[in-house]
Amino acid sequence: MRTSTPEHWQRFWDQAEAIDLDEVYDNDGRLVREITRLYDLDARGDLGGIRILEVGAGSGRDAVALARAGAEVVTLDYVRGSLDLTAGAAAEAGVTVFPVCGDGLASGFGDGTFDVVFHQGLLEHFRDPLPLLQDNIRILKPGGYLVVDVPQTFHYYTLGKQVLIALNRWFAGWETQFTVGHLERIMAGQGLEPVRSYGDWMVPGLWYRALRKILVTRLGWKLPMHPEPIPPLARLDRKWRRWFGTKRLALYTTPTIGVIGRKPLAGRDH
């Protein structure tokens, strides 16, 4: 089974440059919401003075949104393709994001550099997650936050992914996933204090997204990215999400989960 390499990801981002990112689903601002919630923007007004690092730059959407909110944002990736997309998105938005080409396992930043380090869709590509997390924690300031966002084990998305991996047809080669309990234990084992765990359901759902992609690629039919909701069903869905979304069990049903840990203040026992 093939594994991911810098060359593999450079080819992936080279292909992505030809894609209209407005036609690509994002995470609905999930990471930005979670990070800004840590700093109570209603009281602060903005994220001025907060230094944030995104490891694995992706398309740069979250980095740009956080820069808009006033943060000083750095993105780290080991291929130029992702960093170039991020730089383009920042220029288009009229904000500054600092792209750095480097290895997340040995980032080269000084100890205690950032208030927040975050990544999504990254940790699952490492057979041993600890070296990445250890470097993340090293470059956090005491009291800083690590936000880790990953695929969740018990979801049909994961089942489909594992089938494609077995057939050697998954875009990323090898990949794993986590339960919220597993990820919490890993982060606590590295000395982080638990802050919050969260999950997110895809809106629209995976079935609609898959159908839309098939119709576009096979027949050239273009469905709207976000279909008009059916009022009675939408109301039921909102009520169900408000109730079930407060339950711990909900975190074992979402396609993605995240865990936020806080680096202890200097001098505090781990």
Each domain of the chain, given as residue ranges in start order, spans 6-205+252-262
Q: Are 168 and 9 in contact (CB under 8 A)?
A: no
What are 22-38's pLDDT values in tens digits? 555 566 789 999 999 99
Distance of alpha carbon 198 from alpha carbon 34, whole angstroms: 9
Segment (H or E) for 199: strand 193-200
The residue with tokens 């030809």 is 18
- 21: tokens are 């990112």
**Residue with more model confidence, 180 or 81:** 180
For the domain spanning 6-205+252-262, the CATH number is 3.40.50.150
Q: Find residue 193's DSSP bridge partners.
A: 262
| Whole-angstrom distance, CA of residue 126 vs CA of residue 51 | 26
Tell me the per-residue pLDDT of 60-119, one tens digit each, with 9 for 90 and over: 899 999 999 999 999 999 888 788 888 988 999 999 999 999 999 999 999 999 999 999
pTM over 0.75: yes
Most confidently modeled range among 25-29, 154-158, 189-193, 235-239: 189-193
* Nearest Cα to Cα of residue 60 among 36, 92, 38: 92
Measured between alpha carbons, how far is 262 from 194 in angstroms, rounded to an integer? 6
